[in-house]
Structure 1
């Protein structure tokens, strides 16, 4: 029961990888249907020459003299242990034998001999050991077509039959196999690119189509067919074939641009460049929307005048002329003036804010000063009591009177003098008698 389940899972994984390979081929434009890789709008004046550029280095024709070295597949092993080493397991060319790089793997590791015919490059490992653990990568190269693909499979080894299983971790297939068993690491690519071509020069072709306004793509007119063998086919009237052409060195330079001379309004439309390399699985299409504008106005500038020494009217005096030129205000000038106005308003706003802040600060200081004065006014009257005599003296000192005569002035001065000391004669006499 467990073995049947494992086989079902293996088939599901193989079908999944085949579907992924097919989708990748469709996305990369390697199916029979052309894939649009560029779309351009081109406008040129009538009577000029238009060049619709269409370049592709993958279409450059080079004779495949080393066919056995152009298509190759090799398996590599990356060990995730303490060594973290990478080693080549084996490789195989389209017209050669397999090469096994480690003597320990001879007779134990192999790949189907019909791999390049049926597209099955799976790796077979017999008598699996613990040293076989790691990540295996199947690398498919087609140097002539510049195609490179890599498929990874992780191999884990266990000693318990219960742990044996196969699953997808989101990036690669993971195989957990039992020690001593045989495992097949899948690597399938049945794309036609890995099949042998009979006559490669017939596999490469470039053709240009023209689609008039209102005409669908499938009803476009064929202009030119150009094959890598040198064969050229042009369609349409003679005048059309003379004004539209491709360089004879297109396949040697990779330049398949269409040159249209003496452009006219009747030449407007949609032009498409189709590049096909059936052997390499290349099918691309580039679209150009061509519009024709009015013809260029010939230069009507006056011919250069005579030199001063050759002009007979050199000695004539010309009357100065004043020409008033009114230049319209440019949009940038208006924006510049608007910037000045906004900067001035911003400066005035800053000044107003500064004045308001300073006035508030002064008001705050005045309020604090009034509070201090009110605190001083609460002092009791006892603190300012003064003697009557002191008050009287102060009042007398500060008094400024205007006396009417000298008698009043003398009385006032006498009042300022200290009062005469009163002497008791009887007591003085008694003091002397006792002495």
Structure 2
């Protein structure tokens, strides 16, 4: 049998670890995984040598902002950046687009904007906001992968937060069809107003207690309603204890963190390109996040790519837009820090590919027969200095500017086909997932 593609690497990251292997692809899926030198007839063969072969990353936390705020980002630019950074699947957040994805008509508008504009596969989250509980089941049936809600101000008026009672009502409805709720967890009563425009005041205005109070509320509501809940962009290590206790008790509560919380620290924050909510905390907190990740309390590492126009990132920390642009840089940023802490490529793949794919139930995230042949050639020893002009994001604003990172993506395949200038990404739907 002749395969469409065979890729051989001495460092293939498989579900059971890293080893030399040959990966055969047919009809867009992994057909076989064999010994490195096994005879596998193919139309095309690629030999990577010591360059690693990884499954494509699955980034379940990306703000693309189209339609409505396409001047901030868009499907074409975001997915080009994703492919360049080894991300072959992303799930788009229901805000900051206009309209937000809070009903089936808005989802249809989002899908129309994305059609034939995506270099990688794209799925969609729905939103849970005040008054839209009657739309949640219809959105679920239309294929969204879950529902995002805020416990505090989202930053845009068209996506308001839920009160405690609003959360209970939404959680009960989502639990009734065994959906997934994903939560921006910061308690509004614990948030303050920065006393000036500096980072210290901004950080003090969003203390770890704000995250912990909101996380504990989500855990209580998950226990009460039975809903499957996921905590977004965890930045406060104080939350690890209640999360670990909830998981040990059998509650279906998971959590993610982001590259900027694992690789940056408050001690080194520069200008507003570092601003995000919740904030980047100190180095001691960062160390505890790594321990929580290694222990499995945190399961996913995803970017929370949240860009805006350069004008909105100017000024001070009190007024600038809160969001970090890192979609193209997440893999090398995390690998640089993980490697220094003694973690190998299989751990990074577990956090950035396997676990996010499992969160949303996609046949991706691993190199195994039957999985989509979304593959990445990654040189784990290459180093480079981040030059914003080389980024494919719509606006080259990133806190990683000038940093030297280790690890470079040298090729990306989407279902066995190299990503290129012709958009070949598919629009994904939960209802079409095996």
TM tier relative to shorter chain: under 0.3
Structure of greater Rg: 1
Q: State TM-score, norm by structure 2.
A: 0.19
